[in-house]
Every structure is written in structure tokens, then in C-alpha cells.
Amino acid sequence: MKKIALVSVLVLALSGVACTSNDVKSNKVSWGYTGDTGPIHWGDLSSEFATCKTGKEQSPIDIRPTVDIAQSDIKFDYQTSPMTILNNGHTVQVNFEKGSSISFKGKTFNLLQVHFHTPSENLLMGESYPLEAHFVHASDAGELAVVAVLINEGQESGFIQKVVDHMPSSKSSAKTIEGVSVSAFNFIPSQDGHFGFKGSLTTPPCSEGVQWLMMKTQTTASKAQIDALHAVMHDNNRPVQPTNGRTVGSV
């Protein structure tokens, strides 16, 4: 019961629903990507962040597939949504209105938000990418599934351009951009399968039990788009964590 309550709080926090600092205590603890509040210290900053150092299934990881990759069995049902965007001080995030979801292994996960990391957090066969997008989903029971997309420098992305055009350059609350809508469907290279593995949130409190679904195929954004995101977010990638025997495949 306690666990479900905690998951509910996490889902609220992740979905960008207004939470006061009283609702989510961990918001009070300042953390970052460098110095005394950087990733190697997260687990010591608060008892609520302990999983960041004691967890055994932490994210991100260096993805080295251990089984053959099957065609993707993720069914995407993404709809066009009004564009609501924020800068939470750690990343730029777009919130989606209710109605977009994925189906995976007989479960439905509702799309809450997408946010970005420069450079990528997950590595693929030891390789880092300049940008990674995380599409965060939650089931009605509070289980989390993150669809991750690695992004190379190349052709401009229409989806990323909307993010760049409207992102706040400093920490801000969510705002809906009048007359602008977004659909993530065409952005996701979903046809060639995915790498599936169990992991965690890559930011404090580093909660585990997250289903990761990394699309096997990468997409692109222009150098100008990647540079624009990096100029606002700076380096916001947690270093890779030990796999501790986790299998990585089409699971």
C-alpha cells in the first residue's frame, strides 16, 4: 500500500501536475550534475535519494544486447496534443494531455511527458550520442515505462524545432503555447524493434521498477537544434550504472 502511494506521488511529479514542495519533499533537496550535488553524491543528499547509491537496477546503462532483437511489439497510439512546455531546472520537458499511450505486453501505459538529455544518458555498445529523448509513460496502476530515442546530428527535426522555439531558457512553471500542437508519433523510429531492460529513474530519487524501451533505430536533429538544447540544459546526463547481470534484449 505504501509503495503504491509513493508511486502515485512519483507519477504526479513526473506528469508535471502542480505539486507544492510540501507534497513532494524531495523537491526541497537541491541536486545537479556537477560538484557537491552531482550524480556521485545523489545517494547521500537525502534519505529519500538512497536508492541512487543502493539500487541494483539503476539507469542509465551501456546497452549491450544479450539476445536477438525482435521486431518491436510496442503499439504506439500517440495523438496530437496542445504544446505545454517547462524548464524544471534539470531538463526541458513537454507535457502531453491525456489520450496518447503505448501498449506493451498487454499493458497500456499513458504518455505523460517527454524530456531531453545532452549528451545521451544511455550508451549503445559504448557509444554516446549528442541527444536523447525520454518519453515517460505510466499505467493506471502506477507502473512506469520510458521509451528512449537516441538522436544523432543530422537532418533537422520538426518536433525538436517546436521544443527549441518555445523552451524557457531558465527554470519555469509549465505553460501552454497558444495555437501550437505537437505529435510525437512521427518522431519515434519505431519500426525496427527495441532494446528492453529494467531500470530506474535517471534522476533523484532514482526509483527502480521502470520498464525501459530503447528504440533500436536512431533519429536526427540538426547541430543547431542540439546546440540550442545544450545551451539551456548544459550537460544533464547521469553516468552509466552497473548492469548487475540484467539482460538486455527484446523484453
Residues that bind Zn ion in the complex, under the rule CB under 5 A: 134
Nearer to Zn ion, 134 or 216 (CB): 134
**CB 71 to Zn ion: min, Å:** 26
Provide the minimum distance between the beta carbon of 25 and Zn ion in the complex, in angstroms, as a whole number. 21
Nearer to Zn ion, 81 or 237 (CB): 237
> Can you tell me whether residue 130 is helix, strand or coil?
coil
Cα 146 to Cα 114: distance, rounded to the nearest angstrom: 9
CB of 202 to Zn ion, least distance (A): 5
Pick 12 or 66: Cβ nearer Zn ion: 12
Nearer to Zn ion, 134 or 162 (CB): 134
Shortest Å, Cβ 206 to Zn ion = 12
Given the C-alpha cell 548492469, which residue does it identify? Answer: 243
Residue 206 CA to residue 58 CA, distance in Å, equals: 7
Q: Which is nearer to Zn ion, 59 or 157 (CB)?
A: 59
Report the relative pairing of strands 144-153 and 131-138 from DSSP bridges. Answer: antiparallel
Cis peptide leading into residue 205 (ω within 30°): yes
In the bound state with Zn ion, the residue whose beta carbon lies nearer, of 113 and 225, is 113
As a dihedral over the C-alpha atoms of residue 218, residue 220, residue 221, residue 226, rounded to 10 degrees, the angle is: 40
Give me Rg for the CA atoms of the chain.
Answer: 17
Q: At its nearest, how many Å lie between Zn ion and the CB of residue 1?
A: 28
Q: CA-to-CA distance for 119 and 131, rounded, in angstroms?
A: 5
Q: How far is the CB of 67 from Zn ion (least distance, A)?
A: 25
What is the chain's percent helix, strand, coil content, to nearest 5? Answer: 25, 30, 45
Residue number of the CB atom closest to Zn ion: 134
Q: Are 25 and 19 in contact (CB under 8 A)?
A: no
> Could you report how far apart the first and last alpha carbons of the chain are, in Å?
27
At residue 138, φ and ψ (nearest 5 deg) are: -140, 140
**Nearest approach, Cβ of residue 115 and Zn ion (Å):** 5
Reduced to 3 states (helix: H, G, I; strand: E, B; else coil), residue 191 is coil
The residues, ordered by sequence, that sit 6+ positions from 2 with a Cβ below 8 Å of its Cβ are: none
Nearer to Zn ion, 134 or 194 (CB): 134
